[in-house]
Structure 1
Amino acid sequence: MAIKAQVLYEFIAEAGNNELSVREGETITILNQNVGGGWIEAQNSSGNVGLVPEDYIEVNSSTHSAPPAQAVGSYDAYNSEPAAHTQGTNGGGAWPATAWSGNDHGNSSGNCDYSGQQQTPTYQQQGSLEDDEWDDESDDGRSAGGYGHAEEGGTAQRGGTLHPSMKISLNKFSFSKTPNPEVFLIGQSPNKGKESLPIYMGEVGPVWLYPQVPLDCVVADPKKGTKMYGLKSYIEYQVTPNTTNRAVNHRYKHFDWLYERLLEKFGSAVPIPCLPDKQITGRFDDDFIKMRMERLQGWMSRMCRHPVVCESDVFQLFINYKDERDWKVGKRKAEKDEVMGPMIFFTVEPEAPDLDPIEVEQKCEMYSRFTKTMDDGVKDLLNVGNLHWKRCTGPLQKEYQKIGKAFQNLSSVFTTSGYTGESALTDALTATGRTYEEIAEIVASQPKQDLHFLLETNNEYKGLLGCFPDTIGVHKAAIDKWKEADRLVAMNKITPQEKVTMAKRLSTMSYSLQAEMNHFHSNRIYDYNRVMRLYLERQVTFYETIAEKLRQALSQYQEL
């Protein structure tokens, strides 16, 4: 019996990608459920055949009692179970970044949506996926892990409605509560090998150990590739580190995998900013590819500037793998890493004496207040900047055009008077009208010249600041555990020596948080100084250009 399915959301196929356009509510026939990567092959009511996202359809129970097959390689990254359809976006030494911080869609998204809410994984050990399964995952964001928060109030739940042109966040993972710091406070030290995160006392307080040669990477040269015998397409980028000047190739889902590994390993100690968000349609458009590459560049630059991240084995693998075998072996090793989540604090080695837990709590509260206040300020600037951009490309541009048109209309009226001595005036009026029309175009194009970089920097910091509540939350949870120490000793649940160990390890966590905040503040000062200088320099050029055009218009009028 043919398997029938109901289309839940309208899907517009992209040319040359063997996709099939379907309408919401349409009944289609499933021809092949085992295509993989979150896709099925289907035939619509017109007889056309092509690929449709599996999550866009629901199999009719009357024609097929078994649940639809999960796409090959579609796994929840933290428990290796088939993903449910759930609804789901620096400091120390401040080094120059090569770009500002878009997306070839990955196999499984750890993205944030810039809502200021960083999601924290459960830190369960990920099962090692077979490479073939991992490589077969969809590279266009339509993995079978379900869809995320629909932007602008849309919904992507089963049976819901979704506007076809609306972008949706394709977050796959279901993150849970703040990781339990007990595994560090009173747990046994894991086999950490040679891993070590030294913390030194600098002029501003605790700081991470920075590499002698600052690391940077260039993300460039996007190329379109195919898989599944040409059925599916993807974009691949070249990543070139300054330490080797040897390029390695990565698709977006590889960046996504790196993000997951970094978040799972370092997220309790280091805020890992989100990757640029995904979108369903237009992923091969030149403008989108350019935007994604720019934002991936910004993300990589920020990771390169972090001394903990850039020196980690998983990050070095990503930028320096030698061949396919080296990549796969390194990937499996990273996925089996035992030093994850709060366990990362076992590798932190501060050179300073232990801190008083009360001092630890005070510093934690101070950092929490600052990051929350800065987050509010960044969001406010983004709102104002986006509104100004809309005004420049909308009402303000039209107002200058109207003024220019009014001057030219007045000039046309004057020419009908028949008076021979006013040609110089009418010519000047016409030129003034054209000047205002030119100013209208300059005003409309200016946000791309200066406001773009300011907003991109703030978007980066909005995502980064959204990570801090959970990172600080781990430290607050540790403080709460330490406060329970006396009661736990009285109940014979821990020994007095374990209480002492808890205080010592809480001090280690505090040094880690202080080093991270000092890194953040140093980079914050560098980034905002740089972007504000650029913004104001280009604003000066903008107004000087307008002033020069107005001077030229003025020069055409005679002094009487």
Structure 2
Amino acid sequence: MTEPKIAIALYSYEPQEEGELLLLEGDILTVLEEDASGWWSGESNGKTGLFPGSYVEYVDEQLIESLGLEQFEEISEESNNTTEQDLTQQQGGEFSGQNINDENYVSDEENEKDNTSQNQNQQEIIQTQNFTRNIGGTTMIHDGFIWEEKEPVFKVTIGKTVKRKKLRGMKKYTAYLIHSGNFCVTRRYKHFLWLRQRLVERYENVPVPPMPEKQFQGRFGEDFISRRREGLNRFLNRICEHPILRSSQIFHHFLEADEYQDWKMGKRAAEKQNKKEVPFFKSITCAQEVTKDCDDEITEFKKNITSLDKCLKNVENVATDLYLSNYQDLSASYLKFSKAFLKLGSEAKGIVGKNLDIEGKELKERGKEQRKIFIDPLKDYNRLIQVFIETIKVRDQANFQYVSTHAKYTKQNMGELSGQNRDKLLLKQDKSDRMTNITLAEIELFHYNRLRDSKEILTNHLKTQIEYYRKSSERWKKVKEEVEKIPVIHGSKKLEGMEDLSEPELFDEKIETDTEENQTSNQIDKEIEKNDEDNEEEDDEDTDDEDTDEDDDDDQTEETEEIEKEKDENEKNEKEKDEKENNDDFEKI
């Protein structure tokens, strides 16, 4: 049995089940018993019940002795009344101006001056308590709905990937090497999932950045691993850029726990702690009141973000069609074009054909590169918008509960609210106001990040465009210089190295020669075949049907030739037989 101690409520708590104790922020209560589960037993305002232990803080006994318990409770009561008044005044919209707590309003200037000294005493009492908790204490939202910066922005880099095996090689997986400051840890994809799930639990109304989607086929291909690494890198750095998420102990444990046992123990502790912690919205201190304009701003933002989602999807579809389809087709065309130049004279073949071959390969790589720096970030942003929309629904639900409860109690009482109904309504109003502040702070942050990210995506795209055309221009300039050196003289009647350009085999897949020129051509043929194999999965059904028809025509042609050949042989045999019979008859005569 724990010895009774005096404590002060740090946050308000509304009972969810029978036997729980109602707490208002600033209430003085007596803790009767502590329990390892996180639920404590206590007494407040003559009632006994259970409450979350993390919602209260013990009061310094020496401070109580110096002030006296009665004076301490009076100070706490005044502070509590002032808090209720502030909550009532903050709510705007349809119910702004309606007084739900008239008996506690302090409108007389002299009373406000008298209460000033008591409020200052209350601040001194609060400052003597240790409010440092796992969530990092209270968080401030400044005027203009801007998050307080608790720690500076830092960067995270995912370096090389490592392929590992377990269960004696029966199961394999990919691990990612993460560098952050002085720390370097190795994490699997499922560990990233764990991190995001814990952050979503802890910060229910903060949009936690999305992760790259799962894939079950081709998980160990180099291209897929590279793209996933880029996606995970964006995920971590978006957390680093968020003023609240980057200061989370869960995130720091993910980045810093390099020993296996430390990592495991920290994971279990974080999972248990999330269930006991005070909800994040209760730790918010808001500098700006919530008005009807706040609701209008959120409603307008929801419309705009839906339109933005459609625009981004359209850009993504166009970019996908351009880079993944047209670039690959153009790459194959360049390779075939270079092969055509190999059929020309040796001078042109060595100059133009080689450069066309390089251009074809560059275009193929360019399609892959643009997918990583342009298309994948757009997909990430679409997922981020969906997360944002779902997060706003959490705030809308809290606001709806407050409005509906207010309407219900007002209709029942047809007058002033008092007692327990008033306390419950104040709790719902407090939750709605705090979540509205969080949502508006996130909207402000989203606008800033959107401008910065769109600028970065376009800048990277333009850099690759400039670099590609710069290299291509330099190559063609060299080709031009070489072509200009080709001698043009009279008396040259022989076309060296020239082949019959009218032959249909010009673009065939095989050239059966043993010269050095044709050996080079065969190498290019292999590139074409490889490129065609890469494009087979993207061919539509019509193309497959056409190929099948062509194969059937070839089979029919071969059958006709065999029948004709067999017919000729039969006629020849019959003719020989007739001649032999005639000779025999002649001999008999």
The interval holding the TM-score normalised by the smaller chain is 0.5 to 0.7
Cα 1:433–1:332 change in 2 (3 A) is closer
Q: CA deviation at 1:407?
A: 5.2
Of 179, 192, 195 in structure 2, the residue corresponding to residue 258 of structure 1 is 195
TM-score, normalised with respect to structure 2: 0.53
* Mapped partners of 2:382, 2:228: distance in 1: 17
Q: CA deviation at 1:349?
A: 1.8
Structure 2 partner of 1:320: 256
Structure 2 partner of 1:511: 437
- Return 333-342 or 465-474, whichever deviates more: 333-342
Structure 2 partner of 1:218: 157
Structure 1 partner of 2:464: 538
Of 401, 412, 417 in structure 2, the residue corresponding to residue 491 of structure 1 is 412
Q: Does the residue aligned with 2:279 lie in a helix, a strand or coil?
A: helix
What amino acid is the match of 1:442?
E
* Mapped partners of 1:455, 1:197: distance in 2: 39
Structure 2 partner of 1:466: 386
Aligned pairs for 1:100-115 (under 5 A) are: none
Cα 1:396–1:255 change in 2 (3 A) is same
* Mapped partners of 2:132, 2:302: distance in 1: 30
> Conserved in 2, the CA contact under 8 Å of 1:396 and 1:440?
yes
* Mapped partners of 1:544, 1:222: distance in 2: 32
Structure 1 partner of 2:446: 520
Structure 1 partner of 2:9: none
Structure 1 partner of 2:525: none
- Return 442-451 or 292-301, whichever deviates more: 442-451
Cα 1:338–1:531 change in 2 (3 A) is closer
Aligned pairs for 1:105-144 (under 5 A) are: none
Query: Does structure 1 residue 454 correspond to structure 2 residue 388?
Result: no
* Mapped partners of 1:264, 1:341: distance in 2: 10
> Conserved in 2, the CA contact under 8 Å of 1:392 and 1:444?
no
Q: CA deviation at 1:559?
A: 12
* Mapped partners of 2:389, 2:263: distance in 1: 33
Query: Does structure 1 residue 380 correspond to structure 2 residue 317?
Result: no
Query: Does structure 1 residue 365 correspond to structure 2 residue 302?
Result: no
* Mapped partners of 1:397, 1:475: distance in 2: 51
* Mapped partners of 2:278, 2:312: distance in 1: 29
Q: CA deviation at 1:405?
A: 4.6
Structure 1 unmatched ranges of 5 or more: 1-190, 413-425
> Conserved in 2, the CA contact under 8 Å of 1:450 and 1:539?
no
Q: CA deviation at 1:306?
A: 1.5
Aligned pairs for 1:429-440 (under 5 A) are: 431-440=351-360
* Mapped partners of 2:163, 2:357: distance in 1: 40
Cα 1:197–1:306 change in 2 (3 A) is farther
Structure 2 partner of 1:399: 333
Query: Does structure 1 residue 248 correspond to structure 2 residue 185?
Result: yes
Q: Does the residue aligned with 2:273 lie in a helix, a strand or coil?
A: coil
* Mapped partners of 1:491, 1:559: distance in 2: 103
> Conserved in 2, the CA contact under 8 Å of 1:304 and 1:310?
yes
Query: Over aligned residues, Cα RMSD in angstroms?
Result: 3.1
Aligned pairs for 1:50-449 (under 5 A) are: 193=133, 195=135, 196-201=137-142, 205-242=144-181, 245-266=182-203, 268-321=204-257, 323-338=259-274, 343-352=279-288, 354-356=289-291, 358-406=292-340, 409=343, 411=344, 427-428=347-348, 431-449=351-369
* Mapped partners of 2:368, 2:330: distance in 1: 15
> Conserved in 1, the CA contact under 8 Å of 2:281 and 2:434?
yes
* Mapped partners of 2:280, 2:303: distance in 1: 25
What amino acid is the match of 2:176?
Y
More helix by percentage:
2
* Mapped partners of 1:513, 1:279: distance in 2: 32
TM-score, normalised with respect to structure 1: 0.56
Cα 1:405–1:197 change in 2 (3 A) is farther
Q: Does the residue aligned with 2:139 lie in a helix, a strand or coil?
A: strand
What amino acid is the match of 1:251?
R
Q: Does the residue aligned with 1:269 lie in a helix, a strand or coil?
A: coil
Structure 2 unmatched ranges of 5 or more: 1-130, 489-589
Q: CA deviation at 1:355?
A: 1.0
Q: Deviations over 1:62-83 (max 9, x none)?
A: xxxxxxxxxxxxxxxxxxxxxx
What amino acid is the match of 2:247?
E
> Conserved in 2, the CA contact under 8 Å of 1:264 and 1:340?
no
Q: CA deviation at 1:264?
A: 2.2
* Mapped partners of 1:548, 1:323: distance in 2: 51
What amino acid is the match of 1:199?
M
* Mapped partners of 1:451, 1:538: distance in 2: 12
Aligned residues: 349
* Mapped partners of 1:545, 1:231: distance in 2: 46
* Mapped partners of 2:236, 2:216: distance in 1: 23
Q: Deviations over 1:267-326 (max 9, x none)?
A: x32112332222234434444333333322221111122121111121122112263443
Cα 1:559–1:472 change in 2 (3 A) is farther
* Mapped partners of 2:369, 2:165: distance in 1: 35
> Conserved in 2, the CA contact under 8 Å of 1:361 and 1:479?
no
